[in-house]
Amino acid sequence: MVLIIYRSCLSCFCTYPQSHRSENAVRIDIEEQAGQILPYKPAMKRHMTYSAESIKDSAPFTLDGTSLIDVEDGFELMDEWEDRYRYIIELGRKLPPLSQDAYTDDNKVRGCTSQVWLVAEKEGSGARLTFRGDSDAHIVKGLVAIMLLIFSGKTPAEILEIDARATLEKLGLRQHLSPMRANGLFSMLERIKDMARAEKTA
C-alpha cells in the first residue's frame, strides 16, 4: 500500500503559505512533532539479484530490511524535502537499541550539536565491522542510521576506501541540513573512519 500525504494534510505545520517557509522551519516543525508523524513508505524498491556466492560476502547491511540503496531510491521518489525529513526520522526508528553501558563519554561523537554515541563491533570471528549508534534528537538518529547503512558490514580497509561524502552529496544532505547538523554528520563520518583505522592497525 502506498501512503500519499497531501499538502493540505500538513497544515498543522504552519499558519502561512508553504512557499514562504524555509527548509529549516520545516525541519524544526517535523522534528518537534516527530511522535505524531506517520511513517513514510517509499513507493517501490530497486530489485537486486545476488548469486549464491556473492550473498555471503557482499549482501548489503540493512536496518529492519532497509538498505542504503533503498534509501537512495526513496529519496529519488520524494519531490519535497519535507517528506525526506520524515523518511530520515523513520530511519532513526529502525536503529537497534544500544546497551546502557554504551552511553559513555568514550563513545560520544565530538562536534555534534546533539548527543551522538557510536560503537563498533566485529562480526563473529571475521574482520568485518558492524556499527551501532544512537542520538537524543529525532533527525540525528536518522542520520546515524544512514552512517550505519554506509559503513556497517565492511572490513576496516573497505571502510577507509568508501567515499561517504559523495553518497551524502547524492542524497543532498549537505545542502539541506543546517551548518551545525552538517558538521555533526561529518564528525560521525570521521569518527567511523578513525575506528576503522584503529581496528586495521590493531
Instruction: Give the residue numbers marked as catalytic.
Output: 112
User: In degrees, to the nearest 5, what angle opens at C-alpha 91 toward C-alphas 90 and 97?
Assistant: 105
3-state secondary structure of 85: helix
Q: How far apart are CA 199 and CA 64, in angstroms?
A: 26
List Cβ neighbours of 188 (8 Å cut-off, separation of 6 or more): 109, 112, 116, 118, 133, 143, 144, 147
Angle at 47 between CA 44 and CA 50, to 5 degrees: 155
Cα gap 146→197, rounded to integer Å? 20
Closest CA to 96 of 144, 160, 41: 144
